[in-house]
Amino acid sequence: MELRAGGWWLLCAAAALAACARGDPASKSRSCGEVRQVYGAKGFSLSDVPQAEISGEHLRICPQGYTCCTSAMEENLANHSRAELEAALRDSSHALQASLAAQLRGFDAHFQHLLNESERALQDAFPGAFGELYAQGAGAFRDLYADLSRYYHGANLQLDDTLAEFWARLLERLFRGLHPQLLLPDDYLDCLGKQAEALRPFGDAPRELRLRATRALVAARAFVQGLGVAGDVVRKVAQVPLGPECSRAVMKLVYCAHCLGVPGARPCPDYCRNVLKGCLANQADLDAEWRNLLDSMVLITDKFWGPSGTESVISSVHLWLAEAINALQDNRDTLTAKVIQGCGNPKVNPQGPGSEGKLPRGKLALPERLPTGTLEKLVSEAKAQLRDAQDFWISLPGSLCSEKMAMSAASDDRCWNGMARGRYLPEVMGDGLANQINNPEVEVDITKPDMTIRQQIMQLKIMTNWLHSAYNGEDADFQDASDDGSGSGSGGGCPDDICGRRLSGKSSGSRTTLTYALPGLSEQGGQKTSAAALHPQPCTALLLLLLALVLLVARPRGR
Three-state DSSP at 266 gives: coil
Alpha carbon of 312 to those of 140, 226, 306, 371: distances in Å?
Answer: 22, 21, 7, 8
The rounded distance, in Å, linking the Cα atoms of 163 and 153 is 17
Q: Is the pLDDT of residue 293 over 50?
A: yes
Least confident of 17-31, 328-342, 398-412, 505-519: 505-519
Cα(531)–Cα(57) distance, integer angstroms: 10
- 306 burial type by CB count under 10 A (0-12 exposed, 13-18 middle, 19+ buried): exposed
Interval 196-242: pLDDT, tens: 888 899 999 999 999 999 999 999 999 999 999 999 999 999 999 99
CA-only gyration radius of the chain, Å: 39
DSSP bridge pairs for 182: 348
Contacts of 342 (CB under 8 A, 6+ apart): 191, 195
Supply the pLDDT for residue 558.
Answer: 46
Residue ranges of the alpha helices (H) in 44-157?
71-130, 132-152
Non-local CB neighbours of 504 within 8 Å, separated by 6+ positions: none
Does pLDDT of 494 surpass 60? no
3-state secondary structure of 348: strand
Cβ neighbour number for residue 17 with a 10 Å cutoff:
15
Strand-pairing partners, residue 424, are 516
Position 308 scores a pLDDT of: 82
What is the pTM (predicted TM-score) of this model? 0.76
Instruction: Please state the rounded mean pLDDT for residues 301-319.
Output: 90
Residue 28 CA neighbour count, 13 Å, CB half: 15
Question: Under the phi-then-psi rule, with left for phi > 0, alpha for psi from -120 to 50, and beta for the rest, what region is 518?
Answer: beta
